[in-house]
């Protein structure tokens, strides 16, 4: 099962963080959680599920073209964690924003970091700012210790792929590209049926004009089976 986690429960970099290192509760998530999929495949799909004709985003876009009705939000952000094993799994959380100007504007701290992240040309920039805050709400002590709760720039250790489109962006994290990440995920999967895990996604404010930070979206996974 899954649910949306309130962003205000998590602290992010405040307005003057680069000087005073003070974190503050996040504003409400910029995006809202649409759904979560778990897809089993024989080989990883690093071209993304949002571009796959049989998956939900392309089906919805096709329906929009047929009917002339708006089915999807203005813009969808999909976070796709590719988990290796005997079979591969794609865990995909889909988040939507109803007003695309929120992430395009240069007038807000969020917009100043979100615009180049979602619409700019630099994968290097994307890899430097995409951040995860994990939290084990319920679960084994060993897993809690291994996962921790510190914000992490995933692109420092893990290979990431980006699929850009005017209506969506999909970020694919290859868990198999780092041995330590593989071990932690394998450990967590061993206790998956007893875990409650929060995952909050945001962009790091690397310049005063990009602060305070704001969580893009979050999800709680409950007793993953």
The pTM is what? Answer: 0.94
Tens digits of residue pLDDT in 89-123:
999 999 999 999 999 999 999 999 999 999 999 99
What pLDDT was estimated at residue 225? 65
- What's the pLDDT tens digit per position in 42-73? 999 999 999 999 999 999 999 999 999 999 99
Q: Is the pLDDT of residue 224 over 80?
A: no
Total Cβ atoms within 10 A of residue 18: 14
Q: What angle do CA 76, 153, 11 make, to 5 degrees?
A: 80
Output the CA torsion 17→210→13→118 (10° steps). -150
- Please say if the pLDDT value at position 139 is more than 80: no
Structure confidence at residue 82 as a pLDDT band (50, 70, 90): very high
């Amino acid at each position: 099962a899954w649910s949306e986690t309130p962003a205000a429960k998590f602290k992010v970099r405040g307005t003057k963080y680069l000087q005073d290192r003070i974190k503050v509760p996040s504003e409400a998530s910029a995006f809202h959680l649409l759904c979560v999929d778990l897809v089993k495949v024989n080989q990883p799909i690093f071209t993304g599920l949002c571009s796959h004709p049989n998956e939900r985003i392309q089906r919805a876009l096709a329906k929009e073209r047929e009917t002339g009705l708006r089915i999807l939000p203005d813009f969808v952000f999909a976070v796709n964690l590719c988990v290796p094993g005997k079979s591969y799994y794609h865990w995909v959380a889909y988040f939507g924003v109803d007003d695309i100007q929120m992430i395009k504007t240069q007038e807000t701290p969020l917009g100043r970091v979100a615009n180049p992240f979602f619409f700019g040309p630099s994968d290097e920039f994307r890899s430097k700012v995409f951040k995860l805050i994990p939290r084990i709400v319920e679960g084994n002590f060993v897993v809690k210790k291994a996962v921790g709760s510190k914000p992490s720039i995933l692109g420092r250790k893990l290979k990431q792929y980006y699929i850009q489109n005017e209506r969506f962006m999909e970020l694919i994290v290859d868990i198999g590209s780092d041995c330590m990440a593989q071990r932690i995920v394998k450990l967590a999967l061993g206790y998956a049926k007893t875990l409650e895990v929060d995952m909050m996604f945001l962009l790091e404010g690397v310049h005063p004009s990009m602060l305070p930070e704001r969580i893009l979206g979050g999800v709680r996974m409950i007793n993953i089976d």
